[in-house]
DNA sequence: CCAAAAGTGTTGTTGATACACCCATGT
DNA sequence: ACATGGGTGTATCAACAACACTTTTGG
């Protein structure tokens, strides 16, 4: 009835893969990096970043490795979504995939430096094409999860550069949650949380009043959570 | 890089299992049903309800089947937690497990009628023994998940009998969330949501004023969610 | 001077919190 | 009569939404 029962010795799967929804935020829109498949029955179609889970590694490690191989980035913020196990998700074979989503700062990611071999492209969240396998389902699930998590913990900052303005932050939340926010009320709320560190710096090269720059301080957040702090948006 | 690449043909796993945290609510305490293992290296130790994922079934189907085999219950409320993939979670072999948690009404479950072959026992949530493999980790994770989900959607009702009193419901939330609630404020809040259907029935055989019985109406909830309703506790 | 975004202030409403209190019922 | 939980009412305070207003800067 559990792993010690050797009733079914033959594995019920041909393998386990990892698939990552790779989120980035560009100006005012949330985007996902997709790669084009060059071979096999799915030639020409777009899909999520993925690879095989190896014998010796955990899924988290596998995801970091695969993303490093594909994009060159290390220590990316990522969270597991869940296992996708529909027996018909891949034709002919039984492949279970473990879905992830990752949040990256677009400034850290240089599309030319990486993915030389494969065609890669950013897609706006509401302009996603038909993807291979069940990748559309994984992507839809990741969006729900992101919208949930972003209200409960300050993970959205991973999508922004280190220094950002309050309005940038607000636009990020507007885009992710699909709502409109009031500038004044948003400022009050977010500053009241005392999660942000105000910098002695302002925007440059903007054709309007330069906004103050802030940075998210993980240490402050840590201290606040220890005191029983709740991030609610 | 994805499932179509046949670079790694040999499966990186010896098999995939399902493990379920089986929650029940008894009077004033949240409990979990554990089973004792009769064979193998884990003989005598307690663990979660589990079994192997079969070739033709999804993880959700597998979980339902396994729970049916073990407890006799059908159509149980369940949610996938995530995949647990630490390569050292099981000695000697590579077994990935997909964790689930399930909420059942204790009145529906008769411990004698089922699990004849295996030793099974309810454990209070803060009296959990050392479990096999990484089952303690799975259980801890499920508690976090349950606490989160119970605030966002009316899933807690699955732990109660069909007809219940407001105080019972309040005790359920107090126990799950580990907080104390104000009777008066709780009543107002929950009744204000209009999720509950007041019945023309009262408690019986209680040595104090009999409380009104309510029932959770899934249809009402459905209509409310369609209008953009938010269940927040 | 104007456009555009930064940033401040005000006001009404809602909802949470903390209590105090009365009601019904079995022993 | 009293213990036990059921159930109601109210005053206070904090959070939020809506919106009007002023400030800074480049062109």
The DSSP 8-state label assigned to residue B27 in this structure reads T
Looking at chain B, the whole-number percentage of residues with pLDDT higher than 90 is: 67
pLDDT above 90: residue B206 = no
DSSP string, B47-91: E-EEEEPPTTS-HHHHHHHHHHHHH---S-EEEEEEEE--TTSSS
A13 touches strand D (CB under 7 A): no
Residue bearing the bigger pLDDT, B124 or B220: B124
Write down the pLDDT at residue A3. 44
pLDDT above 60: residue A119 = yes
Q: Are B97 and B84 in contact (CB under 8 A)?
A: yes
Contact A4 B42 (CB under 8 A): yes
Residue nearest to nucleotide D3 (CA to C1'): B208
Write down the pLDDT at residue B111. 66
Looking at chain A, the whole-number percentage of residues with pLDDT higher than 70 is: 91
A206 touches strand D (CB under 7 A): yes
Contact B83 A87 (CB under 8 A): no
**Could you report the per-residue pLDDT of A80-108, keeping only the tens digit for each?**
999 999 999 999 899 999 999 999 999 88
Write down the pLDDT at residue B115. 57
A212 touches strand C (CB under 7 A): yes
Write down the pLDDT at residue B5. 44
Q: Is B39 an interface residue toward A (CB < 8 Å)?
A: yes
Chain A, residues 52-81, CB within 8 A of chain B, namely 52-60, 66, 70, 80-81
Write down the pLDDT at residue A86. 98
CA quadruple A209, A210, A212, A215: dihedral sign: positive
Q: Are B90 and B132 in contact (CB under 8 A)?
A: no
Write down the pLDDT at residue B114. 61
Q: Look at strands A49-52 and A196-202 and give their pairing.
A: unpaired
**Could you report the per-residue pLDDT of B3-15, keeping only the tens digit for each?**
444 454 567 789 9
Instruction: Write out A193-220 in H/E/C secondary structure.
Output: CCCEEEEEEECCCCCCCCCEEEEECHHH
The structure's pTM equals 0.92
Tokens of A89: 């998700």
| Cα angle A137, A18, B88; round to 5 | 135
Task: For residue B224, count CB atoms less than 10 angstroms from its CB and return exposed for 0-12, middle for 13-18, buried for 19 or more.
Answer: middle
Tokens of A56: 């010796």
Write down the pLDDT at residue A11. 72
**Could you report the per-residue pLDDT of B34-79, keeping only the tens digit for each?**
999 777 667 789 999 999 999 999 999 999 999 999 988 999 999 9
At B141, is the secondary structure helix, strand, or coil?
helix
At B202, is the secondary structure helix, strand, or coil?
strand
Reported confidence tier of residue A114, pLDDT bands at 50, 70, 90: low
Return the minimum-mean-pLDDT range out of A117-121, B122-126, B200-204.
A117-121
């Amino acid at each position: 009835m559990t792993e010690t029962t050797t009733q079914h010795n033959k594995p019920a799967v041909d393998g386990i893969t990892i698939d990552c929804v790779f989120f980035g935020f560009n100006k005012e829109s949330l985007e996902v990096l997709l790669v084009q498949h060059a071979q096999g029955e799915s030639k020409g179609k777009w899909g999520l970043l993925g690879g095989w889970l190896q014998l010796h590694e955990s899924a988290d490690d596998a995801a970091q490795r695969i993303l490093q191989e594909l994009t060159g980035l290390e220590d990316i913020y990522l969270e597991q979504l869940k296992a996708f196990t529909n027996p018909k998700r891949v034709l002919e074979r039984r492949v279970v995939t473990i879905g992830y989503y990752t949040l990256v700062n677009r400034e850290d990611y240089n599309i030319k430096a990486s993915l030389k071999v494969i065609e890669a492209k950013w897609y706006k969240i509401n302009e996603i094409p038909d993807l291979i396998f069940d990748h559309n389902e994984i992507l839809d699930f990741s969006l729900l999860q992101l919208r949930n998590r972003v209200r409960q913990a300050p993970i959205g900052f991973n999508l922004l550069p280190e220094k950002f303005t309050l309005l940038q932050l607000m636009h990020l939340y507007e885009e992710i949650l699909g709502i409109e926010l009031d500038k004044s009320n948003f400022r009050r709320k977010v500053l009241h949380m005392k999660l942000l560190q105000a910098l002695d710096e302002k925007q440059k090269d903007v054709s309007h009043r330069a906004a103050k720059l802030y940075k998210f301080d993980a240490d402050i957040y840590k201290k606040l959570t220890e005191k029983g702090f709740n991030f609610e948006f």
